[in-house]
Amino acid sequence: MTLPRLCPMTLPLLSVNDLSVQVATPTGPKVVVERLSFDLLPGKTLCLAGESGSGKSMTALSLMQLLPKPTARIADGSAILDGDDILALPEARMRQVRGRKIGMIFQEPMTSLNPVMTVGAQLVGAITAHGSRGRRASHARAVELLDQVQIPEPERRLGQYPHELSGGLRQRIVIAMALAQNPRILIADEPTTALDVTVQAQILALIRKLQADHGISVIMITHDMGVVAEMADEVLVMKHGRTVEHATTKDLFARPEDAYTKELLSAVPRLGEMAGSEIPKRAAGRAVAGSSSDAEQPMLEVKNLTVRFDIKGGILQRPVKRLHAVEGISFDVLKGETLSLVGESGCGKSTTGKALLNLLPWAGEIRVNGRSTRGLRGSTMRPILRDVQMIFQDPYASLDPRMRVGDLVAEPLAIHGLATGSALRDRVEYLLKRVGLSPEQMKRYPHEFSGGQRQRICIARALSLSPKLIVADESVAALDVSIQAQVLDLLQDIQDETGISYLFISHDMAVVEQISHRVAVMYMGRFVEMGTRRQIFENPQHPYTKKLMAAVPVADPTRPRRDFVPKAEDLPSPVRPLDYTPSFPPASDLGGGHLVWNV
Amino acid sequence: MLARLLRRPLAIIGFAIIVVVVSAAALAPWIVPYDPHEQFFEGLTIEGAPLPPNSQFWLGTDLVGRDLLSRLIYGARTSLIIGVVANGIAVLIGSLVGIAAGYFRGWVDTVLMRFTDLMMAFPALLLAIVLAAIFTPSLWIVAMVIAMVNWVQIARVVYTETRSIAERDFVTAERALGAGAGRILFRHILPHLLSTIIVWATLGIATTVLLEATLSFLGIGVQPPIPSWGNIIFENQTYFTSAPWLVFIPGAAILALALAFNLVGDALRDVLDPTQQGRH
């Protein structure tokens, strides 16, 4: 393969040659990165793109010599930075490289900050890591750094602890710490994966601005082709530790050569690709109960659903504040229909889903198939649960790791006493086959399956009771794009076959566009806009809906990159004082069931 | 499962020690070289000091001239009963209280855990003395007294662990399926608590044996002349400098038994966890 040179005259800042990384497994050493080579040019961004297990994070860790020892080791290769091979430097000299020459940002901003130290103390620690400065000088530098990463009120933030800050602010602080020593290379390992789309857009713009201001080179690791298009000058696509394609961003998106790259690009749902169509992507031409439907009874009716949590504090553990998670929302889900709740973290969408299954206390009115669920618990709730089931976000966390898959799928049937003996066994086999798994896998444990297979197991469990409504809470968010597409297809096929209804909860506008009949946009526990898929995506009215759509990274490098917004604020907090009474502005009806609330 | 357990060399050592101790206790009347209560004239030196290990008394004699090996073998009976029964009851009560308080929360949590706190704040030894004073000391009463004192720590640990497991997604998923409390507690939460419970149960064996020794020393434990490993140490500890074997040998026996249960417990924990298979 010939590696394209962007500009043959520029000397590379970092030159990686034939990097191989091995990991020890019970069955012997396994190569996770194989003969990886690339050059990083000054001031440019290189994206390492690939799905989970492609070896992209291992590459980043080996450049910092931070591989988890002794399980993983660098087997071969060199990485030349300023004439030194940083893969072979002894630990003492490597410490001079970390932070000073190469800064690193990790995926999860909460776990990469120390929860018991103030932001200021951690930042000063990063500033003085290589030789002390005066107290006042390091404090001034800390304020300067926070200002650079566009944190409002930097002086006040220095005294705060990480848990007091929003996810976006935390990630900005992590970036400030990485920049503390003025490194020339910044390695960003999935820096925005844990963040909301609007915050992601801000952070990406911030990284681009810092790069332009300080002339830093960036190695960006991501699974998201939208982020790649947004950030990269050059892209290196990885699969199972091997480079499958290395090209400039423009070339890669315009003329992908490798089959895997093509597959990856086509699996990315693109916002707006469904324009003009009334029904979801794979829905059969069957007449669907839309908003204009007749007097047919809805599968689910929700009126004025309100969920509030008291936040207790003080010595007496009295309520001191109140979290208004969901505030008076009303909606129906019809038979065979998919209603999507879309919004960012903390908007109340998952809380709504849990309230439908009585997993938390709520107020208002919920009717499933005509039956009110208010006050039902335990055995009285059980008949309702036969009609409404749930699929959770993280398929591994929602399966008991100590049970065999066959028992896990059989369990709902056993709980409800629906089948025993060979009938139970046949039903489990049928369900596993239905979701695309083989019945021979019944004896295995969840950890022996891949992420996508585990989500199929969760779907089989939810389907086992033949429910009429499934609440899918971020059910594809934790999956790789190609797997995500398969699981979405499976959900839609089941809908076509059985006429099941979905309440699809997601933060991902592109996924929502593919699967929904109708969409409700949530913000701070309220609906701000609700309508058919077409109404929302082709004619968004509320400013928040527009902002949400504009923030989605688009896998198209020719699209102009988003502007940098100085001192952009994150989402406001839904925590209010105890005496707060919400007001309910009426919805304006734009016709055809398209409602907009002026919240 | 037993086959997998026996593939671990450390587990086999632990298992072997337990088998030796249990069979010694069971067969005590037939294998002891002497009557454990008999005070031998030739078991003391002219000055009246105990004898170190020799060809006649393999492990030496104690300060009144009784054969230490015979007392140790009979003592294994007492100590095993105390260690297994008292500790077993303590683990059972502690686990049930902890798991119920941790899962149900609300008033169940408040009542059970405040009672646990109360028990914790009360000096364990004092409580044991009061209980032992009310009931006439016998082996089984002593076992009950020890269980009443020892369940508290286990309850506390299991409670904390249950609370964190109950927050996990798969428990919410079970509730979403309509699973009742019994199913969630015993089929989904308890298996995850096993490693903690096993560690505490094996550690508890050593502490229980020693607590029994303390009670014996205070005269409210197993009544002399019945030997237990703990009271052999306490009877003889004043002669520690001149006759160290009288403390070291029963001490080593307690240590070996605790270690053996620990090794088996560790192996059991790994074998019971399907995510750990193939690793050691």
CATH code, B257? 1.10.3720.10
pLDDT digits (tens, 9 = 90+) for B145-163: 889 888 999 999 999 999 9
- Chain Cα centroid distance, residue A52: 13
> Quick one: angle between helices A451-463 and A421-434, nearest 10?
130
Residue A255: exposure state from Cβ atoms within 10 A (0-12, 13-18, ≥19): exposed
Closest chain A residue by Cα to residue B270: A402
pLDDT digits (tens, 9 = 90+) for A144-185: 999 888 888 888 888 888 888 877 888 889 989 988 888 999
Whether A412 sits inside 8 A of B273 (CB atoms) is no
Asked whether residue B40 is assigned to any structural domain, the reply reads no
Cβ neighbour number for residue B146 with a 10 Å cutoff? 30
pLDDT digits (tens, 9 = 90+) for A321-365: 888 889 999 999 999 999 999 988 878 898 999 999 999 999 999
pLDDT digits (tens, 9 = 90+) for A177-229: 988 888 999 999 888 887 888 888 888 888 898 898 888 999 999 988 888 98
Contacts A379 to B, Cβ<8 Å? 180
CA distance to partner chain A, nearest, from residue B269 (Å)? 12
* Rg for chain A, CA atoms, rounded: 26
| The pLDDT of residue B279 is above 50 | no
Asked whether residue B226 is assigned to any structural domain, the reply reads yes
Average model confidence (pLDDT) across chain A: 86
Cα distance between the two ends of chain A: 55
In whole angstroms, give the CA distance from residue A167 to residue A107: 11
Asked whether residue B43 is assigned to any structural domain, the reply reads no
| The pLDDT of residue A552 is above 70 | yes
> How many structural domains is chain B composed of?
1
Asked whether residue B79 is assigned to any structural domain, the reply reads yes
Q: How confident is the model at residue A269 (pLDDT cuts 50, 70, 90)?
A: confident
Q: Does pTM top 0.90 for this prediction?
A: no
Per-residue tokens: B248: 């070291």
Closest chain A residue by Cα to residue B177: A412
Asked whether residue B39 is assigned to any structural domain, the reply reads no
Give the strand pairing for A526-532 and A595-597: antiparallel
Contacts A475 to B, Cβ<8 Å? none
Nearest to A435 by CA among A468, A404, A466, A458: A458
Q: Which of A519-533, B20-34, B213-227 has the lowest mean pLDDT?
A: B213-227
**Per-domain residue ranges for chain A?**
115-182, 300-378+500-597
Asked whether residue B210 is assigned to any structural domain, the reply reads yes
- Residues paired with A143 in a beta bridge: none
Contacts A355 to B, Cβ<8 Å? none
Nearest to B62 by CA among B205, B254, B224, B259: B224
Task: For residues B174-186, give the mean pLDDT.
Answer: 90
Cα distance between the two ends of chain B: 15
Q: Which domain holds residue B144?
A: 2-34+64-276
pLDDT of B1: 66
In whole angstroms, give the CA distance from residue B268 to residue B261: 10
pLDDT of A312: 81
State in words which class domain A300-378+500-597 has. alpha beta
pLDDT over 70 percentage in chain B? 98
Whether B180 sits inside 8 A of A399 (CB atoms) is no
Out of A393, A404, A412, closest to residue B177 by CB: A412
pLDDT of A284: 54
Contacts A465 to B, Cβ<8 Å? 177
pLDDT of A194: 76
pLDDT of B280: 41
DSSP A101-137: TEEEE-S-TTTTS-TTS-HHHHHHHHHTTTS---HHH
Residue pair A362/A376 in contact by the 8 Å Cβ criterion: no
pLDDT of A290: 45
Per-residue tokens: A482: 């190609």
Q: Answer yes or no: is the ipTM higher than 0.85.
A: no
Q: Which of A5-9, A19-23, A109-113, A577-581 has the lowest mean pLDDT?
A: A5-9
